[in-house]
Amino acid sequence: MYEGQIIRVADEFDAITSKRQYKTHIGVVDTLKILIQNSKPGPKSKKIKKGFFKIAVGKNNKKIVEKLIEIVAEDTEYEIYIKAKHLEHIKNEIKRYTDAIKYYNKAEKEKKESKKEYYTEYAKGYLIRDEEFEQIPTYLEDAEQTYKKRQEEIDNLRQEYKIIKKLKV
């Protein structure tokens, strides 16, 4: 009985969030609001007999929409956790590149070839795999930009999560 209703709500959610039916992307929160609105009876809603009473129902089953909201909240929470873990990794990369750039700058300023070589090798000690000494400033800049971008994404997800938790069917 519920399978068809679950599929309908899930398909509608997927269609809206993945731009299948619409020209522009609609966010998860707005999509959930649409589904909540569709679960409320309208003026032309069907009336279903329940015992002695006839009850008006919406297009979507309220219980299913409530569960979908719960699942989306859990998924958002998990996404925040994963991005926060990635943020920790990026923070470690920034520290590594910051340490490397200290010796990169010393090597660039040094006049004596022996000391220049020493600082260059010391800076290379902070690099991994195919990273190149000459690219240290670029690596640091890229890591800092990525950190800021991920932090903004986490902040947006936290705002979205707060809104999702407040949604009621």
pLDDT tens digits along 111-158: 999 999 999 999 999 999 899 999 999 999 999 999 999 999 999 999
Query: Rg of the Cα trace of the chain?
Result: 27
Amino acid 28: pLDDT: 83
Comparison of pLDDT for 58 and 166, the residue scoring more: 166
Distance CA 79, CA 11 (A): 21
- Average pLDDT of the chain? 86
Tokens of 92: 């470690």
Q: What is the distance, to the nearest Å, from the Cα of residue 157 to the centroid of all Cα atoms in its chain?
A: 6
pLDDT category of residue 49 using cuts at 50, 70 and 90: low
**pLDDT of 23 above 60:** no
Q: What are residue 48's DSSP bridge partners? A: 55
pLDDT category of residue 160 using cuts at 50, 70 and 90: very high
One-letter amino acid of 109: K
Q: What are residue 54's DSSP bridge partners? A: 49
pLDDT category of residue 6 using cuts at 50, 70 and 90: confident
Distance CA 59, CA 126 (A): 60
Indicate the pTM of the whole model.
0.75
Q: What's the pLDDT tens digit per position in 83-103? A: 999 999 999 999 999 999 999
Amino acid 44: pLDDT: 67
Distances in whole angstroms, Cα of residue 6 to Cα of each of 60, 148, 155: 9, 38, 31
- Residue 12's contacts (CB-CB under 8 Å, 6 or more residues apart) are 35, 38, 60
Q: What is the DSSP letter of 51?
A: T
Distance CA 48, CA 96 (A): 65
